[in-house]
Amino acid sequence: MTDLYIKTFYDNKTSTFTHVVVDTKTQCCAVIDSVLDYDQDAAKATTESADQVIAYIKDNNLTNQWLLETHIHADHISAAHYLKQHIGGKTGIGSGIKNVLDLWVPIFDTGSDTPIDGSQFDYLFEEGDTFQIGELSAKVFHTPGHTPACASYSVGDAVFVGDTLFAPNLGTARVDFPGGSAKDLYQSIQKIYQLPDKTRIFLCHDYPAAGEQPTAMVTVGEQKANNKMLKAETSLDEYTEKRTARDQQLSVPKLILPSIQSNMRLGDFGEPAENGIRYIRIPIDQL
């Protein structure tokens, strides 16, 4: 699709890719999986990563139409709330977000400023929904397994999969978070593997060795042939065994509590307390 152009940004601190999907014919675009910089030790949020995206969109005279999330991230804070103030666009996520809100809002006790019906997002996408980025048609695939809210976005010969798949040498998303499921993730990845082998898969994370460049994109064919967790011929039982064993070795993401809490509000830290200060709640013994 000659009118499709994808600009990718990489945040070294969280190893996260943000993708700007551009319709070069109309100069309209969408931002997928943005990053708000957050220093957990100092409890300080800054906007360097998001400002790079804003500068790119403004310098290229683009009109942003969408701020899309593939899921509620546990390893970085979304910049969607901040970006909307500066470049506009409607916010969207998979409708499975309602399951995430049902689980986590009571744990954080943030019902006063975190709508549990998902109304803080402009769109809650259902399976198979379509939308436009300029004249480009995008389609939504629900891809739960890592979380119930995971969704992938297909545009032309590209699909944006969030944490569903990593580069072949890393495998797939973990499934040991609340609401995670190896069976659901296996079935979700089958949807992606049914796409043409030349389809480009744009990733949300990569963790390269020192001196190596991060891998932002691989093809469906490459994943089916080489993914260390789930090749084309891998059975559900084999995958479940591999995924369960790997998850037992993983530690809790460093930013999981501030990330989930704020990402349920699109990266907003919520209403200030009576003293004018905003707070992140840390529930004890809940992970």
pLDDT, tens digit, 9 for 90 and up, residues 209-220: 988 999 999 999
Instruction: Check: pTM over 0.75? Answer yes or no.
Output: yes
**How many structural domains are present in the chain?**
1
| Nearest partner of 267 among 62, 53, 56, 3, judged by Cα | 53
Asked, for residue 286, whether it belongs to a domain, the answer is no
Per-residue burial over 29-41, b if 16 or more Cβ lie within 10 Å, else e, is bbbbbbbbbbeee
Confidence of residue 286 (pLDDT cuts 50, 70, 90): confident
User: What is the pLDDT at residue 2?
Assistant: 74
CATH of the domain at 138: 3.60.15.10
Looking at residue 247, its amino acid is D
pLDDT exceeds cutoff 90 at 63:
yes
> Which helix (H) or strand (E) segment is 269 a member of?
none
pLDDT, tens digit, 9 for 90 and up, residues 21-55: 999 999 999 999 999 999 999 999 999 999 999 99
Asked, for residue 67, whether it belongs to a domain, the answer is yes
Asked, for residue 216, whether it belongs to a domain, the answer is yes
Could you give phi then psi for residue 172, rounded to 5 degrees?
-130, 180
Q: What whole-number percentage of the chain has pLDDT above 70?
A: 100
Asked, for residue 273, whether it belongs to a domain, the answer is no
For residue 231, count other CB atoms closer than 10 A to its CB. 15
User: What is the pLDDT at residue 137?
Assistant: 98
Spatial distance between the Cα atoms of 63 and 185, rounded to a whole number of angstroms: 34
Asked, for residue 99, whether it belongs to a domain, the answer is yes
User: 275 Cβ partners below 8 Å, 6+ apart?
Assistant: none
Asked, for residue 280, whether it belongs to a domain, the answer is no
Average pLDDT, the chain: 96
Spatial distance between the Cα atoms of 104 and 1, rounded to a whole number of angstroms: 40
For residues 226-249, average pLDDT:
97
| Nearest partner of 135 among 52, 32, 22, judged by Cα | 22
User: 184 Cβ partners below 8 Å, 6+ apart?
Assistant: 144, 145, 175
User: What is the pLDDT at residue 159?
Assistant: 98
Confidence of residue 287 (pLDDT cuts 50, 70, 90): confident
User: Residue ranges of the alpha helices (H) in the chain?
Assistant: 48-59, 80-87, 97-108, 182-193, 220-226, 236-247, 256-263
Confidence of residue 1 (pLDDT cuts 50, 70, 90): low
Asked, for residue 269, whether it belongs to a domain, the answer is no
For residues 227-244, average pLDDT:
97
Residue 188 lies in domain: 4-262
